[in-house]
Amino acid sequence: MHNRTIEKDINFKENISKLFNYIKKYLYLIIPAVILAFICSVISIIGPDKLKDMTDTITEGIMTGIDLNKVKSIGIFLIIIYVIGAVFGYIQGFIMSTVTNRCAKGLRSEIGEKINRLPLRYFDKTAFGDVLSRVTNDVDTIAMTLNQTITTLVTSSTLFIGSLFMMFKTNYIMAITAILSSLIGFAFMGLILSKSQKYFNEQQEQLGNLNGHIEEIYAGQTVVKLYNAMDDASNKFDSINEKLYVSNRKSQFLSGLMPPLMGFIGNFGYVAVCVVGSILVINGNITFGVIVAFMIYIRLFSNPLSQIAQVFSTLQSAAAASGRVFAFLGEEEMSKEDVKKVLNKDKIKGDIEFNNISFGYDDDKLVIKKFSAYAKAGSKIAIVGPTGAGKTTMVNLLMKFYDIKDGDILIDGISIKELSRENIHDLFTMVLQDTWVFTGTINDNVKYNNKKISDSDVEKACKAVGLDHFIKTLSKGYNTELNETESLSSGQKQLLTIARAYLSDKPFLILDEATSSVDTRTEELVQKAMDKLTKGRTSFIIAHRLSTIKNADLILVMKEGNIVEQGNHEELLKKKGFYAELYNSQFETLE
């Protein structure tokens, strides 16, 4: 238990240290804000001393005659310094608001860039909702904390030290009385802070889990309803929500103890100062103005304690949030590339060779074992096999989404290890079974990231894949905005992505179950379009519908990460092996 406490304390210090190291770049703004906060605090400290002089002047005046000029001058002085304090407070608030928003913007930008540098392996094991929670909730928590803590910490520290100095300067007996009455607050503050940090950590973690669960259920809403799993999904949500509730309640309860506790200490200090002060006044040791000044000083002394306690409580939440953000920013990125060569897509020949490849998503479990194959330029290569045979993995390796453990892939005799990922991606067009359509017009979706394509080219492509007729039935045709009111079916989305690939002028083509979401009639149209698309390009087709790859130049039959057969459709059927068994099983299923 003691070791866990030390570990959490170390994590708190490390996370806060990382956070403050990050905001060093904004020192040119933070320093003026801190100076202004310091000046405001000094003004607050000067005020009670002048109020003491005013009170003593009025008290003396009751006995003789009130010096109205002196009272007036003190009053004017107080008004001026309080107005200056208000103006400086506004300026430092504006500066800190700018700093915190720039900090939040910078963190989000770094997270956005980091996402592009992370390997797909990271997203295989991390819920998307958890990543989104780091971008939104955690960054917002950090920004809010910075806005509330930096100047508050400076102001509170200045007020605490300044009021302490002024109390001893005014009367040391009253000062000691005020300090002794406040020591209890320090003890309780330290105890509460030591207990609450673990709940703040758990709160941010459960918030990420909740976002991940919501994102997952929302994306799979149809499946959840289809299997009547609403109760299970709801129960899991309730379970995570309950954990979040418990951690949030405990963290907020413990941090919420600070204000009433410090309020009690402040009020207790009032009583102590009044009792001791009245005795000193009776004995003639101090004037009545000293008691008035000390009543303000005790507030200036105890309030900073409460604010400092609140700052540390807020910093605990920020430490938990920054720990998650900086842990994400510290994740292992894709390996550095030692790029030596570049392939020009306009001059490429199109030969691809898989040379003795072995690969596994986990080091102890290989998905691909000693895979070797050769794709001649312009040929159509089909990869078939049962689920889990390694078909899509081969495509992922070819696209350099994952780094090869053993073996190599050569494009026109050049290892992909010597080519940048961007260069490889520029050589390939992909159509996946998981479609991707973004909010925007149909025109924009088909043209995606290719401004050279004209509207007439988009129309030709959509006609080729059989999507033109449907588009013209929409309210604005090709300029129809795809959103909640104007959406496409799964098959129409697939056709749109195929049209996008149709317009992409790249030497290599990958079709991963590209016709899985279309009906038989549409499949015929798509197949004709694909025949045009694959002409003159080295193409890799992954398909479960074996009828769609009859005209492939070479069919690679995979089983458990190995090529067990290869040849064209007729040759493989004559062998009456595993391919023939897969092909005939389709018709057996139909029967």
Percent of the chain exceeding pLDDT 70 equals 79
Is residue 55 within 8 Å of residue 289, measured between CB atoms? yes
The pLDDT assigned to 508 comes to: 87
User: Is 346 inside any structural domain?
Assistant: no
Q: For residues 452 and 583, state if they share a domain.
A: yes
Q: Over the stretch 86-104, which tens digit does the pLDDT of each residue have?
A: 887 778 778 777 888 888 8
The residue-averaged pLDDT of 200-206 equals: 75
Q: For residues 324 and 356, state if they share a domain.
A: no
DSSP 418: G
The pLDDT assigned to 589 comes to: 45
Is residue 579 within 8 Å of residue 587, measured between CB atoms? no
User: Is 414 inside any structural domain?
Assistant: yes
The residue-averaged pLDDT of 114-139 equals: 79
User: Is 538 inside any structural domain?
Assistant: yes
Single-letter amino acid, residue 66: I
**Burial class (CB within 10 angstroms; exposed 0-12, middle 13-18, buried 19+) of 1:** exposed
- Is the pLDDT score of 2 beyond 70? no
Single-letter amino acid, residue 403: D
The pLDDT assigned to 286 comes to: 75
pTM: 0.61
Among 280, 297, 329, residue at a domain's last position: 329
Among 270, 297, 329, residue at a domain's last position: 329
CATH of the domain at 394: 3.40.50.300
Top mean-pLDDT range of 67-71, 290-294, 564-568 = 564-568
The pLDDT assigned to 450 comes to: 76
**Looking up tokens 């390996």, which residue turns up?**
335
CA distance 39 to 44: 9
**Looking up tokens 């197949």, which residue turns up?**
527
User: Is 343 inside any structural domain?
Assistant: no
**Burial class (CB within 10 angstroms; exposed 0-12, middle 13-18, buried 19+) of 587:** exposed
User: Is 3 inside any structural domain?
Assistant: no
The residue-averaged pLDDT of 3-7 equals: 39
How many helices (DSSP H) and strands (DSSP E) are in the chain?
20, 12
Q: For residues 215 and 360, state if they share a domain.
A: no
The pLDDT assigned to 3 comes to: 42
DSSP characters over 150-162? HHHHHHHHHHHHH
Q: For residues 458 and 408, state if they share a domain.
A: yes
Q: For residues 435 and 497, state if they share a domain.
A: yes
Q: For residues 393 and 290, state if they share a domain.
A: no
Enclosing H/E stretch for 358: strand 352-359
Mean pLDDT of the chain: 76
User: Is 344 inside any structural domain?
Assistant: no
- Is the pLDDT score of 4 beyond 50? no
Q: Which domain holds residue 561?
A: 352-590
Quick one: three-class SS letters along 433-478? CCCCCCCEEHHHHHHCCCCCCCHHHHHHHHHHCCCHHHHHCCCCHH
Q: For residues 168 and 282, state if they share a domain.
A: yes
The residue-averaged pLDDT of 160-188 equals: 76
The pLDDT assigned to 12 comes to: 64
Considering only residues 415 and 48, tell me which one the structure prediction assigns the higher pLDDT: 415
Q: Over the stretch 256-270, which tens digit does the pLDDT of each residue have?
A: 776 677 667 767 777
Q: For residues 370 and 501, state if they share a domain.
A: yes
Is residue 329 within 8 Å of residue 111, measured between CB atoms? yes
User: Is 270 inside any structural domain?
Assistant: yes
CA distance 101 to 432: 39
**Burial class (CB within 10 angstroms; exposed 0-12, middle 13-18, buried 19+) of 310:** buried
Q: For residues 233 and 382, state if they share a domain.
A: no
Q: Over the stretch 324-363, which tens digit does the pLDDT of each residue have?
A: 888 888 888 877 777 778 888 878 888 888 888 888 877 6
Q: For residues 94 and 151, state if they share a domain.
A: yes
- Is the pLDDT score of 124 beyond 80? no
Q: For residues 265 and 324, state if they share a domain.
A: yes
Q: Over the stretch 25-74, which tens digit does the pLDDT of each residue have?
A: 777 777 777 777 777 667 666 655 555 555 555 555 545 555 567 667 77
User: Is 537 inside any structural domain?
Assistant: yes
Quick one: three-class SS letters along 396-416? HHHCCCCCCCEEEEEECCEEH
The pLDDT assigned to 535 comes to: 75
The pLDDT assigned to 1 comes to: 40
CA of 152: how far to CAs of 44, 72, 301, 302, in Å? 14, 32, 14, 14
CATH of the domain at 188: 1.20.1560.10
| Maximum CA extent, the chain | 125
Q: Over the stretch 273-289, which tens digit does the pLDDT of each residue have?
A: 778 878 887 777 777 77
The residue-averaged pLDDT of 215-230 equals: 68
Percent of the chain exceeding pLDDT 90 equals 0
Confidence of residue 568 (pLDDT cuts 50, 70, 90): confident
- Is the pLDDT score of 447 beyond 70? yes
Which residue stretches of 481-577 are H helix? 490-502, 520-534, 569-575
Q: What is the dihedral of CA 17, 19, 23, 29, to 10 degrees?
A: -90
Which is nearest to 114 in space by CA: 126, 99, 102?
Answer: 126
The residue-averaged pLDDT of 149-164 equals: 76
Q: How many domains does the chain have?
A: 2
CA distance 537 to 528: 15
Q: For residues 426 and 294, state if they share a domain.
A: no
CA angle 308, 314, 318 (to 5 degrees): 135
